[in-house]
């Protein structure tokens, strides 16, 4: 009896969490003019329509490029931060860790507003401004992944390298980096995924001609109404994420991805 209720709740939660995403994917393959359930037939027409609309296409490309760049940036900076934090136990190391992790819980919309006001004051360009915002937002994810793998790394290996005459940078590059590589890679992938879906910070930081896919979807929903091309755009968002996750699972394993 208790087991049945437990399983029922698990079923309800899975349906509530996954259901809306499935509905979007099904709707995007509809052959109908407008949203209707069940769809009268299946087609790719809305995906073709998506790539025909210039703003949608541009937003998609920008989101991919931005996600790759932001993931690289936050992986490098996250690696530097993680190296320091994993090897020093002092007040500064705690402060650095708190600072790097803060954007994870800090209300993103407020960070977006604060950055917008700063950018307006110093005349920052839209694209570099968006790029930096994405790095800050993605940093906690790449940092945490890399820190976890550094903490389980046996530093005596590096000491061995140094006693054999390699400098600290050289021994890090030749010994530590190859060993913690799965952590760095999963940190990169996390950052990519977070940047690709980033919404609340980007809301204020996009500009004319510089719009990311989630923001394009949002403004379409707000101003053009509920069209199925939005479903196709959303579907593409999900498909890219699924592709990255499957690749990640192949490259570093599922365990590396869910460990926190």
Partner 1 sequence: MRTTLSPKSLAWAVALPPLVILCLFFVVPLGYLLFISFMSNSATSLYDLQPTLANYTDIFSDSFYWLIIQRTLLSTATVLVLCLLLGYPVAFYAAHLSPRGRLIMLMIMMVPLMVSNVVRAYGWVAILGRSGVLSSTLKGAGLIARPVQYLYSFEAVTLGLLTILLPFMVISLTNSLATIDKRYTEAAHSLGAGPWRTFLRVTLPLSSPGVASGLMLVTFLALSAYVSIALLGGPRYKLLVSMVFDSVSTFRWPRAAALSFVLLLIALIIAVVIQVVIRPQRVQGKG
Site for partner 1 in 64-93 (CB under 8 A): 76-78, 80-81, 83-84, 87-88, 92
Segment 235 to 254, residues that bind partner 1, using CB under 8 A: 237-238, 241-242, 244-245, 254
CB of 23 to partner 1, least distance (A): 5
CB of 152 to partner 1, least distance (A): 16
CB of 165 to partner 1, least distance (A): 11
CB of 250 to partner 1, least distance (A): 13
Segment 158 to 217, residues that bind partner 1, using CB under 8 A: 167-169, 193-194, 196-200, 203-204, 213-215, 217
CB of 201 to partner 1, least distance (A): 10
Number of Cβ atoms within 10 Å of the Cβ of 13:
10
Contact with partner 1 (CB under 8 A) among 66, 75, 96, 146: 96
Segment 98 to 157, residues that bind partner 1, using CB under 8 A: 99-100, 102-103, 105-111, 113-118, 120-121, 132-133, 135-136, 139, 143
CB of 258 to partner 1, least distance (A): 4
Of 7-15, 43-51, 152-160, 176-184, the segment contacting partner 1 by CB under 8 A is: 7-15
Contact with partner 1 (CB under 8 A) among 58, 64, 221, 227: 221
Contact with partner 1 (CB under 8 A) among 1, 91, 164, 258: 258
CB of 232 to partner 1, least distance (A): 11
Count of residues in contact with partner 1, rule CB under 8 A: 93
Segment 11 to 50, residues that bind partner 1, using CB under 8 A: 12-14, 16-24, 27, 34-37
Question: What does the chain look like in DSSP terms, one character per residue?
Answer: -HHHHHHHHHHHHHHHHHHHHHHHHHHHTB-SSS--SS-SSB-SHHHHHHHHSHHHHHHHHHHHHHHHHHHHHHHHHHHHHHHHHHH--SHHHHHHHHHHHHHHHS-HHHHHHHHHHHHHHHT--HHHHHHHHHHHHHHHHHHHHHHHHHHTS-HHHHHHHHHTT--HHHHIIIIIHHHHHHHHHHHHHHHHHHHHH--TTHHHH-BTTB--HHHHHHHHHHHT-S-HHHHHHHHHHHHHHHHHHHHHHHHH-HHHHH--
Please state, in angstroms and as integers, the Cα–Cα distance from residue 235 to each residue in 161, 220, 240, following that order. 49, 15, 9
d(CA 45, CA 41): 11
Of 66 and 139, which has the nearer Cβ to partner 1? 139
102 φ, ψ to 5°? Answer: -55, -45
């Amino acid at each position: 009896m208790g087991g049945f209720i437990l399983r029922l709740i698990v079923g309800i939660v899975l349906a509530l969490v996954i259901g809306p995403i499935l509905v979007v994917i099904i709707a995007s393959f509809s052959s109908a003019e407008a949203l209707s359930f069940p769809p009268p037939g299946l087609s790719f027409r809305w995906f073709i329509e998506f790539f025909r609309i210039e703003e949608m296409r541009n937003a998609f490309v920008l989101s991919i490029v931005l996600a790759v760049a932001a993931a690289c940036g936050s992986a490098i900076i996250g690696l530097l931060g993680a190296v320091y934090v994993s090897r020093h136990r002092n007040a500064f190391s705690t402060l650095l860790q708190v600072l790097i992790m803060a954007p994870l819980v800090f209300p993103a919309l407020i960070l977006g507003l604060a950055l917008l006001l700063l950018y307006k004051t110093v005349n920052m360009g839209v694209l570099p401004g968006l790029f930096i915002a994405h790095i800050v937002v993605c940093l906690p994810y790449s940092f945490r992944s890399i820190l976890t793998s550094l903490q389980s790394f046996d530093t005596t290996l590096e000491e061995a390298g140094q006693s054999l005459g390699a400098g600290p940078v050289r021994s890090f590059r030749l010994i530590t980096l190859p060993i913690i590589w799965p952590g760095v890679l999963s940190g990169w992938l996390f950052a990519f995924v977070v940047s690709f879906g980033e919404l609340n910070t980007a809301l204020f930081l996009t500009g004319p001609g510089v719009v990311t896919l989630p923001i394009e979807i949002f403004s379409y929903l707000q101003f053009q109404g509920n069209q199925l091309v939005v479903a196709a755009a959303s579907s593409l968002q999900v498909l890219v994420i699924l592709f990255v996750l499957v690749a990640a699972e192949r490259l570093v394993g599922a365990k590396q991805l869910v460990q926190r």
